[in-house]
Copies of this chain bind each other. A is one copy, B any other.
Amino acid sequence: MNFDFSEDVGAMREEVRRILSDKFPRGEVRQAVDAGRRFDRDFWALLGEMGWLGVAIPEEHGGSALGYEALCMIAEEVGAALPPVPFISTILAAEALTLFGSDAQRAKWLPRLATGEAVGCLALAGELPVVDGDIADIAIVARDGDLWLVELDQPGVVREPIEALDAVRTSVRLTFTAAEKLSGDLSRFLDRAAILVAFEQVGGTRAALDMAVGYAQERYAFGRAIASFQAIKHKLADIYVALELARSNAYYGAYALEDEADLPVAASAARLAASEAYSLAAKENIHTHGGMGFTWESDCHLHYRRARELAVGLHSSRYWRDRLISHLDKAAA
């Protein structure tokens, strides 16, 4: 038995983390947002070159086929760093095409998604909100329980930016007139997407906890680090517990990406635990920072906003609780 990522993936994680922290040290993402640099094309090109976008794309379509463990790990690190690139949108679009695309669709888009030459996005809720729809080349659209591919350079496509929670990514209202139907079933795609997003959420939880831990150790009140007050210590311990429970559920989700026998349960549990942990960590990270946490410059809000956006982005917890308990109920009948 081996319930951990492979040692190869562990080694790769070091590299991914180093590159992200070199490129986006604390404050850098917010400054990019403030300066209107909403899409860092240089960094995006670098991700393509490094092969991070194609780890789960078959080799014949330009991917490295390193596998889902690697993809989950990268999603976690990206979720922690929040770089201004359309990572999760693009890998989920690639995932939809890998699973459900025709040969022609795969041949046309996967190589470009694997290198970052093309950007993907998801439109799962109708016209809006479509995250990263402003810069995407294709959209995976859900309608009436089916999935569709929409190429966004066509006539009839309109993208209208709307105000949404996330501070880094832009959402649009997307309208279009032509779409190609994909073969797959929506709930299976949502399950797989939920697991990948859960790793993003786990990464965000870890980052928010790290911020809170760091600040609580540096900030003094009443002549002592605020981290020495049990009210703070125990809260941070509880966030750590939530993080570990989320991580363990997400790991089982990563396993279920390869062996789908238990996919709906693994995906639902991974998503529920990760949404809960990230919400808790993001909100208490602000609170631990006190008044400073409430300032734009503290960066705390990047996670607070992202946590909520991710929590509703693939349906909110209600959908996943129903899915989880329905399956467990059947299994125990």
Q: Is A231 an interface residue (CB 8 A)?
A: yes
Q: Is A230 an interface residue (CB 8 A)?
A: yes
Q: Is A234 an interface residue (CB 8 A)?
A: yes
Q: Is A176 an interface residue (CB 8 A)?
A: no
Once the chains are docked, how many angstroms separate the CA of A143 from the CA of B60? 73
Interface of chain A: mostly helix, strand, loop or mixed = helix
Q: Is A5 an interface residue (CB 8 A)?
A: no
Q: Is A229 an interface residue (CB 8 A)?
A: yes
Taking CB atoms, residues of chain B closer than 8 Å to A234 are 230-231
Contact with B along A224-246 (1 / 0, CB 8 A): 00000111001000000000000
Chain B nearest Cβ from A280, distance in angstroms? 17
Contact with B along A210-235 (1 / 0, CB 8 A): 00000000000000000001110010
- Residues of A50-71 contacting chain B, CB below 8 A: none
Once the chains are docked, how many angstroms separate the CA of A184 from the CA of B246? 53
Chain B nearest Cβ from A229, distance in angstroms? 6
Once the chains are docked, how many angstroms separate the CA of A231 from the CA of B231? 6
Chain B nearest Cβ from A286, distance in angstroms? 19
Once the chains are docked, how many angstroms separate the CA of A291 from the CA of B229? 24
| A232 (CB) vs chain B CBs: closest residue | B230
Once the chains are docked, how many angstroms separate the CA of A234 from the CA of B231? 8
6 contacts between A and B (CB under 8 A): A229-B230, A230-B230, A230-B231, A230-B234, A231-B231, A231-B234
Chain A positions near chain B (C-beta within 8 angstroms): 229-231, 234
Lowest 6 A-B CB distances belong to which pairs?
Answer: A230-B230, A230-B231, A231-B234, A229-B230, A231-B231, A230-B234
